[in-house]
Amino acid sequence: MPETESKLINLYEHPGHLLRRAQQISVSIFYDEMGNELTPVQYAMLRNLADHPGTDQVSLAALTGIDTSTGATVCARLEEKYLLERKVIPHNRRQRALTITSAGEELLDSLIPGSQRLRRRILAPLSGPEQLQFMELLSKLVNTNNEQSRAPQAVAGGD
């Protein structure tokens, strides 16, 4: 056993447990700062759609790192809220092309200040250099382990 590794008897030495707790905290702060109009996953899907207009819902789910059935459900909810439109792709009738509506764009614009506060609040316990290091390490952890996910995130522009 490496010197830096304990027997992992203490739950708070398990990175998975701490990541789960960090996710709980992040979601709580998300609703504090962003309100209840969207869930975190709905926000992520709508934000990605704004960056990739016209993409199909399978690709959008992959870009967001969620499974296709969840992606379809999220898209249906966003459509019910008139935040996106789904249209059958003529050359592939099984897929739906997505476009963000003007209401969706307005909502995303209105959430920018909340998303900035959300980021600041989550990272507030860390100094400026620690925030940069944390984000760098967290990105490395997520990107390096991407293929271990049940729904690996697709790279934008890749197939």
Average pLDDT for 120-127: 97
Residue 68 forms part of a structural domain: yes
Residue 153 forms part of a structural domain: no
Domain that holds residue 92: 11-142
Q: Which amino acid type is present at position 118?
A: L
- At residue 151's C-alpha, the angle toward residues 146 and 153, to 5°, is 50
CA atoms within 13 A on the CB side of 61: 19
pLDDT in tens, 75-92: 999 999 999 998 887 777
Residue 2 forms part of a structural domain: no
Average pLDDT for 131-142: 95
Residue 25 forms part of a structural domain: yes
Residues 46, 60 contacting (CB under 8 angstroms)? no
Whole-number Å distance between alpha carbons of 70 and 33 = 24
Whole-number Å distance between alpha carbons of 119 and 29 = 9
pLDDT in tens, 21-73: 999 999 999 999 999 999 999 999 999 999 999 999 889 999 999 999 999 99
Average pLDDT for 121-140: 96
Is the pLDDT at 158 greater than 50? The verdict is no
pLDDT in tens, 91-101: 777 777 899 99
Q: In residues, how long is the chain?
A: 159
- CA torsion 41→85→59→106, rounded to 10°? -50
Is the pLDDT at 8 greater than 70? The verdict is no
Domain count within the chain? 1
- Predicted pLDDT of residue 92: 74
Q: What is the pTM of this model?
A: 0.85
Residue 130 forms part of a structural domain: yes
- Predicted pLDDT of residue 75: 95
Distance of CA 133 to the CA centre of its chain: 20
- Predicted pLDDT of residue 156: 65
What CATH number corresponds to the domain at position 102?
A: 1.10.10.10
Q: Which residues partner with 92 through β-bridges?
A: 89
Residue 147 forms part of a structural domain: no
